[in-house]
Amino acid sequence: MRAATMVLSILLAGCASLPTAPAVEATEAAGPDLDAIDALMADYTGEVPGASVLVLHEGEPVVRRSYGLADVDAGIAATPATNYRLASVSKQFTAAAVLLLVDDGVVDLDGPVRQWLPELPPIADGVTVRHLLTHTSGLVDYEEVMEPDPPEQLRDADVLAILAGVDRAYFPPGSDYRYSNSGYALLALLVERASGMDYPDFLQARIFEPLGMEGTLAYTREGPAVRERAYGHTLVDGGWVRTDQSSTSAVLGDGGVYSSIDDLARWDAALYDDRLLPDRLRTLAVTPATPTDDPDVQYGFGWRITGDRLWHSGETMGFRNVLVRWPERQLTVVVLTNRNHPQPYPLALRIAGRFLD
């Protein structure tokens, strides 16, 4: 089910990515043949778990469409305001939170993590904040050592408690790369201790509210409800079954943010100028810091880097998402889905190909 073409005046204040962006109404009609986009999204159309697609080009939302259902059981259609669990796309917000505290002069990127998290075992003595941001800490993945089927969902604090009892590492800090959800859970706790605020409140006060991301939040069951929420689904024996939360879904730093394509347009705009972070820190976040296990990909702070392309995917129970940026071309593609397959990254690249020369 596709959303009708809409005048996007509600996004004008947040979507202009450059000070020179024209202050005029932007519509989908400014983009390429939208029937071609709809054809690419055909598998998400109808009474099935859906998707929302955003293409920003030169500060304009030239594609802003939703397909299928945000909630299959209730028959609720996805819309551009539907909030999906971003999974690891959330890591760019965790990295930005840390960089805000660096800009405040509170956190040192090359300072020891145990300054903030002394519960970590001695094996973490050489681990710095930068190592956590770049997945080069060597700390053990908490999902490998957690209790099977815990009675309650794990939180970031539980990740710290688990790692406090594991005095071994994959490699010495800074000597190798291994993607680490542990590292980003610890970063959320570091933000809490360095700021004196709960992590969801810090994100709200320092990122989401200033940028006008009104529907975005780091979700906890005891906190505010997710507005216009998409529920995750998994294909089982030919039918879609709701599979929305797992035992690790309440860990926030590595993947607990919910957002919509409308709010991510505002986030994207803030990545072009100083409204949130100064240029030196924004540049640092997307500067290759380490090679990864993919020879075509390097990693910065919460961003994968492939040539001139900045991106991050996110997958968790019932959701698959991706955000891809070509800053030099002023092009961004976001695909958010509430189903367990397929991976949307190849799809996002195909959509982007209609805009790239």
Q: Which of 88, 90, 249, 313 is catalytic?
A: 88
d(CA 87, CA 93): 11
Could you report the per-residue pLDDT of 62-86, keeping only the tens digit for each?
999 999 999 999 999 999 999 999 9
Q: How far apart are CA 331 and CA 227, in angstroms?
A: 28
Give dist(CA 268, CA 265) in Å, integer.
5
Lowest mean pLDDT among 18-27, 54-63, 98-107, 238-247: 18-27
Residue 218 has pLDDT above 50, yes or no: yes
The kind and range of the H/E element at 282 are helix 279-285
Report the predicted TM-score, pTM, of the whole model to 2 decimal places.
0.91
How is 339-350 classified by DSSP, letter by letter? Answer: SS-S-SHHHHHH
Confidence check: pLDDT of 223 > 50: yes
290 pLDDT higher than 50:
yes
Mean pLDDT of the chain: 90
Mean pLDDT for 324-329 is 97
Q: Are 346 and 335 in contact (CB under 8 A)?
A: no
Domains of the chain: residue spans and CATH = 9-84+228-352 (3.40.710.10), 94-195 (1.20.58)
Share of the chain above pLDDT 90, in %: 82
Treating both helix axes as pointing N-terminal to C-terminal, what angle do 181-195 and 91-103 enclose, rounded to 10 degrees? Answer: 40
pLDDT of residue 340: 93
> Measured in whole angstroms, how far is the alpha carbon of residue 214 from the centre of its chain?
16
In this structure, the strands spanning 69-71 and 217-218 are: unpaired
Buried-state track 120-133, b at ≥16 Cβ within 10 A, e below 16: beebbebbbbbbbb
Question: Mind listing the pLDDT tens digit for each residue in 310-326?
Answer: 999 999 999 999 999 99
- Looking at the predicted structure, is the pLDDT value of residue 116 above 70? yes
Say yes or no to pLDDT of 59 above 60.
Answer: yes
The secondary structure of 9-61 as a DSSP string is GGGHHHH--STTS--S--BGGGSS-HHHHHHHTGGG-SSSB-EEEEEEETTEE
pLDDT for 145 equals 87
Q: Indicate if the pLDDT at residue 187 is higher than 90.
A: yes
- Residue from 285, 148, 265, 276 nearest 216 by CA: 265
- Residue 14 in this model has a pLDDT that exceeds 60: no
**Per-residue pLDDT at 221:** 87
For residue 356, what are the β-bridge partners?
A: none
Kind and range of the H or E element at 189? helix 181-195
Tell me, what's the pLDDT at 2? 35
Whether 247 is catalytic is: no
Q: Output 356 or 68, whichever has higher pLDDT.
A: 68
Higher-confidence position of 17 and 54: 54
User: CA-to-CA distance for 294 and 83, rounded, in angstroms?
Assistant: 30
The DSSP secondary-structure symbol of 247 reads T
Question: Look-up: residue for tokens 């001139």?
Answer: 308
Q: What is the pLDDT of residue 28?
A: 54
Per residue in 234-288, pLDDT (tens digit) is: 999 989 999 988 767 779 999 999 999 999 999 999 999 999 999 999 999 999 9
